[in-house]
Structure 1
Amino acid sequence: MSRSYFVQGGVRLDGEIEVTGAKNSVLKLMAIALMATGRTTLTNCPDIADIEAMAAVLRLLGCEVEVAGDVVTIDTPEEISNEATDKAVQKLRASVCVLGALVGRTGGAVVAMPGGDAIGNRPLDMHQRGLNHLGAETHMDHGRVVARAEKLTGAEYRLTFPSVGATETFVMAAALAEGKSVLSNAAREPEISDICELLSKMGAKITGAGTSTIEIEGVPELSPVSHRVIGDRIVGATWAFGAVMTRGDLTITGVDPMHMHVALEKLRGAGAEIEVLGPKSIHVVQEKQPLAIYTQTMPFPGFPTDLQPMAIALAAVSKGMSVVTENIFESRFRFVEEMVRMGADAETDGHHAKIVGRDRLDSATVWASDIRAGAGLVLAAMCADGESEVCEVHHIERGYPEFIENVRSLGGIIRAAEELV
């Protein structure tokens, strides 16, 4: 069922906001719980719809999952199913991360091709090739990935692109393989380091997490532990962009500033004053109209593709002409069409977007195509004259905990459609 937010323009975000655990980490950590018999406890978990969606996938596989506040408890039995083919799987892109966990734990898996955001093609070829190197046979069968292995054996594998998902699949499976594995051109995202930290706590032998070469010495079994999820760098940076766009004053806590380094440097280039207050705290102030930016999305430590909509929204209210280049997901520029509805002077050419900024946008009815596009549209609506309607906001709620409450706490004027009755 489609839902909408109504957002009043002309506001300034002001105050303090605490960021909780990373969506792009917690769902994978939940999958890792499949790899050890017993109770795994995750803390600092975000209150987002995708948590319950992932819990549903784990329950299908035989786990007992309890979500209570920011704590997720997963009880994994000795015998688990390795077939994740229900509709619940197809709704959640991150559900593919059970592939490596299941192959590592049970020697096989049947996983339905996942759904998720409509941001472009995300094939599983690299996931499969990684498992092939470890000794598994894989193939596609009527929209399902099928993997089987009598024994997983350590191997060397070089990714053709530093895919986060393929890195996760290989590392999880290799953790329970026999012998040593080396993954080259691995993804370097902080979420990868978080995943490797949990695996190491459980008894895995992993070195090089956070670098382009990860070494894994396989172990016979893993043990359940408790683990705190890292802060969400994308959510933290979203609020930082919101502060700059609305010429606000925000203190953002709960996330490592180094995980947002490139994004914060872009905001400094736009004229923002940004002070690092501590290991998990920054202060962002913007007093004048932001300046134009030039950025391109790249794998970490580059500018994240998840922040591309925020970069375009910022450019639309900045002084001068900005250029934003998308190198990761080809369909993310659907966001530009919605910005044009709001009066943005923007056009795309291949994987480049050119935006000439203006002081204020126009209120309009716009549609969110994915999590980040939805958040970007709300920020843009705050910079418009009048009230805008942002439709399909269920996307936002998959990635941003207590979104309406947080916007209101910072001075934003936002209502859900059902509140208008």
Structure 2
Amino acid sequence: MDRIILYGGNRLTGEVNVSGAKNAILPILAATVVEGNESTIFNVPNLRDVEVMEKILLALGCTIKRVDNIMWVNSKPLDQVKIPDELAREMRSSIILMGAMLSRCGEVIISYPGGCEIGPRPIDMHLKALKDLGAEIEESYGFIHCRASKLKGTEIQLDYPSVGATENIILAAVKAEGTTIIRNAAREPEIVDLQNYLNKAGARISGAGTSVIIIEGVNEFKKDVTHYTMPDRIVAGTYMIASAITRGEIILKNIITDHLQAVIAKLKEAGCLIYSDENSLKIIGPERINSIEMVQTLPYPGFPTDMQAQIMALLSIANGISIISETVFENRFKHVEELIRMGANIKTFGKVAIIKGVKELTGTKTTAKDLRGGASLVLAGLVAKGRTEIENVYHIKRGYEDFHKILKGLGANIELVE
């Protein structure tokens, strides 16, 4: 099993070109099946989750060609409606294929999805919304069977601005009869990217990035699509913290600075100097990190839950006491016990963590329990005294392309042992 071994203490400096966004490319790849067109997609990250989605599309009958970070998907030959069980269980994002397959085939069979074990992420909202659009849903023996002879547009009020549910509704509604309005929709930039891709193919969607999205159903898509995937704001935020935690100086390129405002605000509070324009950013870490009174994870444009573990690693060596309130996922503190093994002083009370900064962390053997928690252990290892070993690196590979190579290029003493 792959492991990362690193020795802390090096100051990171240099430039990073941020890869395409995992949370954007996965729904876009799902969207390629909505109509039998051909898609050329640039800036596709080389990630484990993308490989899983590619395998799913191939199993459904699509043809795919990939060269470096360019992917060509032809969904014309799609001839299956069942998502392979072993692939669906490997990745949470497989669930958004429900809406796409209902649009294309009027039927889909999928098992309950897998992914990181960061607490219950019920798909009740997904299923209720699809039923509102006219789908019939049967659940049995861990499988979901959706059918719809004809989907019809409707108004859907989400109880919570769920990203996945918003994406599933969009994908199901693009060919539904009439107009669909999603209220309390998720506002994440990745949904804007999905809207942009679908509109290029012939969809009529407006409002992505706001809490109200309007989808006017069309009979068919007629256009092949060329699309450039947006940069990954979570990857960018992780490298920002790598610079902050090592007192480094890193320049990030190929970013959208507006997507990072919540992270920028908290890192400035921690004492970082940040200089930015529209598409690049320089972050200089402070000699001593300030504690942060409160970090509360919230749906976009709030502080992202996907950055909670990484900022906790930073605050574990801050000067003073910090509080993190996790409001999105109830079991997203699995990295805490691993950080404590490295010498961090962290106490959790339900969804709240209190972090009392220590002077130094010490390297030890740790285990990545999920994607972002694994990234937090790498960040902690960058400053820990001595040798840090991280197991279950496959979690990290789900969301970071060449993570160890990029960090090594910035000056980290890090190796991937396969």
TM-score bucket of the superposed structures, by smaller chain = over 0.9
Q: What is the TM-score when the length of structure 2 is the normalising length?
A: 0.98
Match of 1:169, as an amino acid? N
| CA offset digits 1:213-267 (Å, max 9, x no partner) | 0000000012331100000000000000111111110101111011010011000
1:399 maps to: 399
Q: Distance in 2 between matches of 1:206 and 1:39?
A: 20
Matches within 5 A, 1:194-343: 194-222=193-221, 223-276=223-276, 278-293=277-292, 294-343=294-343
For residue 81 of structure 1, report the CA deviation from its aligned partner: 1.6
| CA offset digits 1:31-72 (Å, max 9, x no partner) | 100012131111011111221111100011110112210011
For residue 360 of structure 1, report the CA deviation from its aligned partner: 1.3
1:97 maps to: 96
Q: Is 1:352 aligned with 2:352?
A: yes
Match of 1:113, as an amino acid? Y
Match of 2:115, as an amino acid? G
Q: Distance in 2 between matches of 1:198 and 1:39?
A: 12
For residue 161 of structure 1, report the CA deviation from its aligned partner: 0.5
Q: Give the match's secondary structure for 1:385.
A: coil
2:158 maps to: 159
Q: Are the counterparts in 2 of residues 163 and 187 from structure 1 also a CA contact under 8 Å?
A: yes
| CA offset digits 1:104-131 (Å, max 9, x no partner) | 1111111111111111111111111111
Q: Distance in 2 between matches of 1:410 and 1:80?
A: 46
For residue 279 of structure 1, report the CA deviation from its aligned partner: 1.7
Q: Distance in 1 between matches of 2:62 and 2:153?
A: 28
2:382 maps to: 382
Match of 1:38, as an amino acid? N
2:416 maps to: 416
Q: Give the match's secondary structure for 1:329.
A: coil
Q: Are the counterparts in 1 of residues 62 and 77 from structure 2 also a CA contact under 8 Å?
A: no
Structure 1 unaligned blocks of 5 or more = none
Match of 2:137, as an amino acid? T
For residue 76 of structure 1, report the CA deviation from its aligned partner: 0.9
2:125 maps to: 126
Match of 1:102, as an amino acid? M
| CA offset digits 1:303-360 (Å, max 9, x no partner) | 1110010111011011000001111111111111111000001110111000000221
Q: Give the match's secondary structure for 1:361.
A: coil
Q: Distance in 2 between matches of 1:366 and 1:95?
A: 29
Q: Distance in 1 between matches of 2:174 and 2:315?
A: 44
Match of 1:73, as an amino acid? W
Structure 1 runs (4+) deviating above 4 angstroms are none
1:22 maps to: 21
For residue 139 of structure 1, report the CA deviation from its aligned partner: 2.7
For residue 371 of structure 1, report the CA deviation from its aligned partner: 1.1
Q: Is 1:373 aligned with 2:373?
A: yes
Q: Give the match's secondary structure for 1:5.
A: strand
Q: Distance in 1 between matches of 2:164 and 2:23?
A: 10
Q: How many residues align?
A: 416
Q: Distance in 1 between matches of 2:166 and 2:204?
A: 16
Q: Distance in 1 between matches of 2:37 and 2:133?
A: 26
2:62 maps to: 63
Q: Are the counterparts in 1 of residues 56 and 84 from structure 2 also a CA contact under 8 Å?
A: no
1:135 maps to: 134
Match of 2:50, as an amino acid? I
Structure 2 unaligned blocks of 5 or more = none
Q: Distance in 1 between matches of 2:284 and 2:76?
A: 50
| CA offset digits 1:352-397 (Å, max 9, x no partner) | 0000002210111111011111111001011111011011111111
Q: Distance in 2 between matches of 1:67 and 1:317?
A: 42
Q: Distance in 1 between matches of 2:322 and 2:274?
A: 21
For residue 417 of structure 1, report the CA deviation from its aligned partner: 2.3
Q: Distance in 2 between matches of 1:115 and 1:171?
A: 22
Q: Give the match's secondary structure for 1:94.
A: helix
Q: Are the counterparts in 2 of residues 33 and 224 from structure 1 also a CA contact under 8 Å?
A: no
1:74 maps to: 73
For residue 79 of structure 1, report the CA deviation from its aligned partner: 4.8
Q: Distance in 2 between matches of 1:118 and 1:88?
A: 16
Q: Give the match's secondary structure for 2:103.
A: helix
Q: Are the counterparts in 2 of residues 36 and 224 from structure 1 also a CA contact under 8 Å?
A: no
Q: What is the TM-score when the length of structure 1 is the normalising length?
A: 0.97
Q: Give the match's secondary structure for 2:54.
A: helix
- With over 3 angstroms needed to count, the CA separation of the structure-2 counterparts of 1:79 and 1:357, relative to structure 1, is closer
Report percent identity of matched pairs. 39
Match of 1:263, as an amino acid? V
Q: Distance in 1 between matches of 2:273 and 2:400?
A: 25
Q: Distance in 1 between matches of 2:339 and 2:186?
A: 31
Q: Give the match's secondary structure for 2:247.
A: coil
Q: Are the counterparts in 1 of residues 62 and 78 from structure 2 also a CA contact under 8 Å?
A: no
1:42 maps to: 41
Q: Distance in 1 between matches of 2:84 and 2:286?
A: 52
Matches within 5 A, 1:98-117: 98-117=97-116
Q: Are the counterparts in 2 of residues 175 and 216 from structure 1 also a CA contact under 8 Å?
A: yes
